[in-house]
Amino acid sequence: MLPTIAREGDIVVMIDQRKLPAQEIYVRCKTAAEVARAIKTMVIRGAPAIGVAAAMGIAIGMRNSKATGTQKFAAEFHKICELMAATRPTAVNLFWAIERMKRVFADAAQAGASVDQIKDRLDAEAQAIHDEDLASCRAMGAFGADIVPVDARVLTHCNAGALATAGYGTALGVIRGAVEKGKKVAVFADETRPFLQGARLTAWELVRDGIDTTIITDNMTGALMRLGKIDLVVVGADRIAANGDTANKIGTYGVAVLAREHNVPFYVAAPLSTVDLNTPDGEQIPIEERSAREVTHVGASQLAPVGARVWNPAFDVTPHHLIAGIITERGIFRPPYIESLRRAFEKETVASR
Amino acid sequence: MLPTIAREGDIVVMIDQRKLPAQEIYVRCKTAAEVARAIKTMVIRGAPAIGVAAAMGIAIGMRNSKATGTQKFAAEFHKICELMAATRPTAVNLFWAIERMKRVFADAAQAGASVDQIKDRLDAEAQAIHDEDLASCRAMGAFGADIVPVDARVLTHCNAGALATAGYGTALGVIRGAVEKGKKVAVFADETRPFLQGARLTAWELVRDGIDTTIITDNMTGALMRLGKIDLVVVGADRIAANGDTANKIGTYGVAVLAREHNVPFYVAAPLSTVDLNTPDGEQIPIEERSAREVTHVGASQLAPVGARVWNPAFDVTPHHLIAGIITERGIFRPPYIESLRRAFEKETVASR
């Protein structure tokens, strides 16, 4: 299993995803601020992994606290939560994880727990978020495997793999699930400019697993589909609105349009923590814009002249009508999503009572 | 005017398009073999520019010949023509230019011209191909300017600019023509992986001309169009089949599908030398595949892990039904292209008699 993120005592260890595949370097974060910076600078990325990292960052931040009274401790807690929330705006898993930590804190404080007891509860919750994410990915893999043809050529965009989660992956979890069920899968990975998550991360983790992987540049998707060489598209998600509109890595929308043009089923794989019923549709999802330098330079190479503007949105929104199904840890949801997703949460509420 | 390619005595001088925009370096080719190598390695690229380069390469190759008898001279000529024809398979302008040189050679030989006279004729023909291309681009600019809205946001893919031609450009010629007519144009340039002609070349030459230019990665086209920020797409072409199907830089097809999805008119700008009536449709256009390294590395940066496959077609085919018009030096041709393009050549034949 890939070591995307792990606790070592009071340290959060992450593989530096900016350096892969050329170098395998681990970043050791000793403070909440270091974790927040790692999220912001994309040492770690991928919606579920960001949620796990934020929770672990809060946990070690509070573990480091020297506060003895619950009031000062609570003030520090809320400051750290704000720090985490300011890292990246689009992936809702970040806010979902922070909310879980806040609820645990509030429940413990209300029950009269001591500072040390609250620290233990926060540690346990962060670990639970990690472990549940891993279990969710495996469940997604098992459900999603069914929609993968026996001998399939599957296109994916960005990295929705082990590196984007606590492990196993969402979209790549579906591919791993299909392979585990004995299906033959050839993966086509969009390189996914500008951060190159497809070429650098998806290809790296699939090659490690011995899965047949071909890298293409993002602009080759159309030609590949037109040649009839893609049977299925599976991607991850950073936020799914109540109506099924899905924010995911920039370029996902174009892939979805091309998939429909060529009658290729387009699926999203994501844990229910990615679904945000408070966001009615894709229009309401905030889209992070990142620095021009991500586009104008690769390593030391200057790709663009001085004087040209750059537009660098990190995500786009795929409207629900282009999505054949949303693969979650609780099964595959189908249109109309406005109903199927709402029912998913109603069931969850009932189940947890 | 940009110095894409020029003769200096018996030397062909080209700006090295692999090094732009970081460095402005000129490559001086002293032999036909050096010119062929420059075409193959993309020191010079762009269908019309390749045609000009091949003609100039043949001209200096024959200028260098030490043959005194026409038979040996002819043998050398055909060998050099074959060398040029083997450089790149997709752009038909290459073969068109070689054919023009062959016709001049054959006519001169048949008329009993001496070796020195044939050398002069070949020089003159190569220069004519260069000068006509420049004039064609200006004519395309004048015709094409009419389809550009007064305040337009124009997307282009790859580089169909001064650098892809003898000067002024085809698609960028249309933009320059619109600007010269006082229209306000903001250009969005797809960076165009893997060779990055958009970020490196299109942005460079437009910024030099003071034209507002924004670089996006190829996978941002869909999001940009969905936001309603593109009024028009204009691209170049490497080969246009008799039915209007157009081979152009990889990714053009995806842009065309997205343009139709968003009701954005999609135009091709190319000289009639790019139209190949002997190729009935896009299925018959040979698509060059280039080395994996173009995708896996940028400069010294390794983008992809060892063990992943790469697919790297240099071009794709946009079917004629996605093309609103083909802008040429003789006006804008409209569907059905199978008729309008054939008529264009019938007129040419009449006009040249």
- The catalytic residues of B are 238
Tell me how many helices (H) and strands (E) chain A has.
Answer: 12, 17
pLDDT at residue B3, as a whole number: 75
Distance from CA of A126 to the nearest CA of B (A): 32
Residues in CB range of A244: below 8 A, 6 or more apart: A320, A323, A326, A335, A336, A337, A338, A341
Tell me, what's the pLDDT at B349?
52
Q: How far is B296 from chain A (nearest CA, A)?
A: 8
**CB within 8 A of A275, min separation 6: which ones?**
A92, A240, A242, A326, A328, A341, A344, A345
Mean per-residue pLDDT, B57-63:
98
- Tell me if B212 and A251 make a contact (CB, 8 A cut-off): no
Beta bridge partners of B56: none
Residue among A212, A206, A217, A270 at smallest CA distance from A241: A270
Residue with tokens 């899968």: A185
Cross-chain residue pair A204–B251, CB shorter than 8 Å:
no
Angle between helices B47-63 and B32-40 (to 10 degrees): 160
B30 — contact with chain A (CB < 8 Å)?
A: no
Which residue in B217, B257, B300 is closest to A295 by CB distance? B217
Using alpha carbons, list the distances in angstroms from residue B211 to A127, A323, B155, B199. 54, 39, 13, 14
Maximum pairwise Cα distance, chain A: 66
Q: Is the dihedral of CA B219, B223, B226, B232 positive or negative?
A: negative
- Measure CB to CB from residue A301 to each of B192, B299, B310 and give the nearest one: B299
Pairing of strands B315-318, B246-249: antiparallel
Q: Hey, what are A137's tokens?
A: 């990915």
Q: Which long-range contacts (CB under 8 A, 24 or more apart) does A76-80 make?
A: A77/A105, A80/A32
292-311 in chain A: CB under 8 A from chain B: 295-296, 298-311
> Contact at 8 Å (CB) between B271 and B328?
yes
Contact between residue B199 and residue B191 where contact means Cβ atoms under 8 Å apart: yes
A97 and A54 Cβ atoms separated by less than 8 Å: yes
The answer to whether residue B21 neighbours chain A at the CB level (below 8 Å) is yes
SS (H, E, C) chain B: CCCCEEEECCEEEEECCCCCCCCCCEEEECCHHHHHHHHHCCCCCCHHHHHHHHHHHHHHHHHCCCCCCHHHHHHHHHHHHHHHHCCCCCCHHHHHHHHHHHHHHHHHHHCCCCHHHHHHHHHHHHHHHHHHHHHHHHHHHHHHHHHCCCEEEEEECCCCCHHHCCCCCCHHHHHHHHHHCCCEEEEEEECCCCCCHHHHHHHHHHHHCCCEEEEECHHHHHHHHHCCCCCEEEECCCEEECCCCEEEECCHHHHHHHHHHCCCCEEEECCHHHEECCCCCHHHCCCCECCCHHHHEECCEECCCCCCEECCECEEEECHHHCCEEEECCEEECCCHHHHHHHHHHHHHHHHC
Task: Walk across the sheet containing A5-8 and list its strands.
Answer: A5-8, A11-15, A26-29
Predicted pLDDT at B299: 87
Which of B20, B223, B304 comes nearest A253 by C-beta? B223
**Which residue stretches of chain A have pLDDT < 50?**
350-353
**Residues of chain B found within 8 Å of residue A313, distances taken between Cβ atoms:** 220, 223
Best of B23, B303, B310, B316 to mutate (most A CBs within 10 Å, chain A) = B303
Per residue in B231-269, pLDDT tens? Answer: 999 999 999 999 999 999 999 999 999 999 999 999 999
Q: What is the ipTM of this complex?
A: 0.95
For residue A220, give how far its alpha carbon lies from the nearest alpha carbon of chain B (Å).
6
Write down the residue that tokens 């520090």 correspond to. A76
| CA distance, residue B297 to nearest chain A CA (Å) | 10
Chain A: nearest CA to B197, how far in angstroms? 9
Smallest Cβ distance to A221: which of B188, B254, B309? B254
Q: How far apart are the first and last CA of chain B?
A: 33
When computed from its CA atoms, the radius of gyration of chain A, rounded to whole angstroms, is 20
Q: Find, among B177, B174, B176, B204, the residue nearest to B189 by Cα.
A: B204
Q: Which residues of B touch A299 (CB under 8 A)?
A: 298-301
Is the overall model pTM greater than 0.90, yes or no? Answer: yes
CB-CB under 8 Å, B295 with A200: no
Residues β-bridged to residue B212: B186
Contact criterion met (CB < 8 Å) for A257 and B257: yes
Q: Within 10 Å of residue B186's Cβ, how many Cβ atoms?
A: 18
- pLDDT grade for B351, boundaries at 50, 70 and 90: very low
> Distance from B198 to chain A by nearest Cα, in Å?
9
Q: Band of the pLDDT at B353, cuts 50, 70, 90?
A: very low
Distance CA B98, CA B32 (A): 13
Residues B277-301 have a mean pLDDT of 96
Which residue among the candidates A238, A245, A276, A316 is catalytic per the annotation?
A: A238
Whether A301 contacts B23, CB under 8 Å? no
Q: What is the mean pLDDT of residues B275-300?
A: 96
The residues with which A26 forms a beta bridge, in sequence order, are A15
User: By CA distance, what is A311's nearest residue in B?
Assistant: B216
How many whole angstroms separate alpha carbon B113 and alpha carbon B122? 12
Nearest Cβ partner of A203 from B261, B308, B311? B308
Q: What is the pLDDT of residues B129-168, one digit of tens each?
A: 999 999 999 999 999 999 999 999 999 999 999 999 999 9
* Secondary structure letter of residue A233 according to DSSP: E
Beta partners for residue B214, in sequence order: A309, B188
pLDDT the model gives residue B347: 67
Number of residue pairs across A and B with CB atoms under 8 Å? Answer: 205
Task: Select the residue of A295, A301, A313 nearest B298 (Cβ to Cβ).
Answer: A301
Contacts of A316 in chain B (CB under 8 A): 220, 222-223, 226
Strand A301-302 with A297-298, pairing? antiparallel
With CA atoms as reference, the chain A residue closest to B196 would be A303
Length of chain A: 353
Contacts of B219 in chain A (CB under 8 A): 157, 190, 192-193, 218-219, 250-251, 254
The 3-state DSSP class for residue A268 equals strand
pLDDT of A5 reads: 97
